[in-house]
Each structure stands twice: as C-alpha cells, then as structure tokens.
Amino acid sequence: WRFYGYAIGMVGGLLLELVGYVAKVQLSYNQSNKNAYIMFIIGLTLGPTFLSSSLYLGISALQRWYQTTCFSPVGPKLFATLFILGDFICLAFIGVGGSLAAIYSDQPIGVNLMIVGLATQVLFTAIFCILLSIFYRSTRRTLAADPKRWFVLGAAIASACLFLRSCWRVAELSDGFNGPLASKEGIFIALDSIPITGMSIILTFLQPQFWFSNQRKIDLDLPE
C-alpha cells in the first residue's frame, strides 16, 4: 500500500501545484479574479503537503527493507503514521485557513491559521531530517557499498527543499498576502518554485516500487 500511497501523494501534490500556477497566471492578467485567487492560495500551499506524505512513505519503506531499529522506538509503521498524521494536521490548518483568507481577505484569521499549518510542517520536517540523519549515521558503513545510499541522499535533499520552502512561506505570510515579501517574484521563484520543482523531480526517481519491489529485508549489523 505504501507504493500506491506514494503515487497518490505525488499525483495529488503535482495536480495542486499545477492548479496553483495556472491560477497565478490568471491573476497576472486579472488580479480581481476571486476564483483564481482561491485556487492560487490553496493549490500552492497544499501541494507540498501531499508531496511530503510521499517522502515519509518512502523512508518508511526504507526502514522496512533494512529492518533497522535505529529509529527505535519509532518503527516503520509508527513512523509513517506519525508523519502522515502531521501532514493531515497541516492540511486541516492550511485548507481552512486558505479558504478563510480567500473569502475574508480583510480578516487575519485565515492567514494566521495558514501560518500555524506551515509552522507545523516546518516542525515535522525538522524532526524528519533529524531522524534521517540518525538513520544515515547508523547505517553509513552498510550504505557505502549499497546503491540505496542514493535513495537516502535524495530523500535528504528533498526534505531540505521542503524545509526551505516551508520556512519561506511562514516568513512570507507573517505580514499577510499584501506584505513586502508577497510581491517579490524573484524570491518566490528562488525559495518556492525551484525547491518544489527539485523536490518533485527527486521524488519521481525515489518511487519505492523501483527501489524496494523485492520484499526481502536486510538486518543491519549496527554498532552497539
């Protein structure tokens, strides 16, 4: 099911990103287009949350493959459950906040809820990066001779892209949609478009079906 869940997260995230950018193009022609404004806010804010779900499921598959306890007591099933739950929390805050921000643009409640959702994403991404570094340190000798080291490296780069983008969005929304950062297209491309594009490309190559289709598991000889 992780293989299907990974694909669903990727497709959902990319479709939302596509909707968001189509809406952004429409807004460049008509900034008073309310429907495009709603699509822009929700699409580009929710899209990376779906992509992060795929990232977490990929690492869960990696844990199962190696049967390692270096995440103990966070086993593969608990790992996936915790981070997917975190994504649902992000989705709830961002979805509700984005809708309120688009409908009641003169009220701060929507933006504040979105900031809470994005801050939650930053927190979970930071925890994920820490756990991934623990995994790598515990398995680096085995991974040195294993092609799956590229999977770990790709996951690390993808998580860094997500972390960078989430931090940027929190900073951008801290002053509202009309704040000084909201109109900086160059910064938006550098800290949102490029990281998410890079993350999407990397996750495409990290599809667990390509790396872990054989259900064989490996016991790592970890140091005491």
The 8-class DSSP code of residue 105 comes to: T
pLDDT at 127 over 60: yes
How far apart are the C-alpha atoms of 155 and 149, rounded to whole Å? 10
Contact assessment for residue 60 and residue 133, using Cβ atoms and an 8 Å cutoff = no
What is the rounded average pLDDT for all residues in the chain?
79
Nearest to 111 by CA among 121, 98, 92: 98
Residue ranges of domains in the chain: 2-212
Least confident range of 62-66, 123-127, 202-206: 62-66
Contact assessment for residue 26 and residue 64, using Cβ atoms and an 8 Å cutoff = no
Write down the pLDDT at residue 67. Answer: 64
Write down the pLDDT at residue 91. Answer: 83
pLDDT digits (tens, 9 = 90+) for 141-159: 776 777 778 888 898 899 8
pLDDT digits (tens, 9 = 90+) for 162-184: 889 888 888 877 776 666 776 77
Q: Which amino acid is at 197?
A: T
What percent of the chain has a predicted confidence (pLDDT) above 70?
A: 84
Mean of pLDDT values over 76-96: 82
pLDDT at 2 over 60: no
Greatest extent of the chain over all pairs of C-alpha atoms, in Å: 62
Name the residue with higher pLDDT: 9 or 32. 9
Q: pTM for this structure?
A: 0.80
